[in-house]
Amino acid sequence: MPLPPRSDADTAARATWAASSLRFLYLDLNSYFASVEQQDNPALRGKPVIVVPVESDTTSAIAASIEAKVFGIKTGTPVWEAKQKCPGIAIVNARHDRYVEFHHLIEAEIDRHIPVYKTWSIDEVSCELMGPQRLKENAVALSHRIRAGLRDTLGDCVRCSIGIAPNQFLAKLASDMQKPDGLTVIEAQELPGRILPLVLRDLPGVGPNMERRLNEAGIASIADLWALKPEDARRIWGSKEGPAFVQRLRGIGDYSQTDATRSISHEHVLPPQFRDAESARLILRRLGVKGGARLRRLGFVAGNLGIKVRFDDDTRWAADFRLTQTQDNFVILAAIARLWEQMLGETGKPRGRYMKVGMWLTGLVPKDEVTLDLFGGASGLAQDDAAAAAKRAKLWSAMDKLNQKYDRKDTVRIGPLPRHKSDFMGAKIAFNRIPKKEEFKE
């Protein structure tokens, strides 16, 4: 049965929607980690709160509540400084698994109103406006409904700033223009005037280094950047990202979509009582085991492994080691041991105690794309062969299943564990990646 012809009113409405410049809604949760802690613990509500990775005055806040920000405390503020600025401030250890759980509840609520187009981080998502949602009054009403839904479903402490604009770049910029609880709309016809009062560092992707490069090229304001020619932008950025950045600023084009996994990394700040060499070595070893489990769960092998160490006098050491493509914990641990010995030989007696350790795996390739000979026969272990590697693969698979099944870390483990048994073995939240539930058991 053919569809009925569109009425003149319907055609006119569709033309109006298409003519609107508004395409994206960007939602940024305010003081996310601290807000979750306040929502879960009524005693913290309305009070200055910081969230920290470990209990130590020498570490820094990874989140600060809206009330703490009034005192000039923000992400990166050392704990000792936060205590000086706000005596009696509440200090809470991070619970990354809870923040991920809360994140999924938030996305589920947003999806009730409009599908989530892209998850940018644990506390930022964008949504594509469609049809009548592109009209300014409808987009604003939609924003109010999302806010009300978050408040009713998850609680009053869940607050967000929303930006609405022609692309995700400008929508994110708009979401930053009024915090907390802001709602900012930027239409194409308002450009560039609406953004000219901002400074370069307000733009997403412009940090200290990029700002310095722009200044050295004579770009000191948004107006200068707006007028930049494509060839000059390419020269400043050193790539085609320069012209694309300026186009996004003008509301033309947008970010490219990619979700490719390029690396796996884990790091941990050591509590003061565990900053000796042996504790640091064991924790680094445990991070390597976690990296191997994650490789296997994702179906990758790695071709390169690196470690990094920071001492409490702020000296640092880092190096990497080329692997034969592997997801074998024995190979990973052997590489970490080799690099650790290299570090000890090069640094001698450290000038400070161990403050932080980390490891990374790069050169990731899907396991199915690696031939059996390469995958099993040249792992870097003495007298290794494909048959031995295959047996170990079965061992890792069995261990991974047991650790996931019993809902605890290290039900089955390799060798000694660090004396420090905090939740460092659980997943940590990166700026642009949300850990899977399984990671908290690896």
The catalytic residue positions are: 124
Write the single-letter amino acid at 74.
K
Residue 76: is it exposed, middle or buried by C-beta count within 10 angstroms (0-12/13-18/19+)? exposed
For β-strands 354-362 and 365-366, DSSP reports them as unpaired
The pair of structure tokens assigned to 119 is: 């998850």
d(CA 381, CA 392): 12
The alpha carbons of the chain give a radius of gyration, in whole angstroms, of 25
Write the single-letter amino acid at 96.
H
Nearest CA-CA partner of 226 in 196, 253, 204, 197: 196
d(CA 300, CA 271): 32
Write the single-letter amino acid at 98.
R
d(CA 410, CA 393): 18
Find the Cα–Cα–Cα–Cα dihedral 85, 91, 97, 102, rounded to 10°: -70
Nearest CA-CA partner of 110 in 166, 55, 178, 162: 162
In b/e form, how buried is each residue of 326-347, taking b as 16+ CB within 10 angstroms? bbbbbbbbbbbeebbeebeeee
Distances from the Cα of 75 to the Cα of 45, 62, 99, angstroms: 19, 5, 16
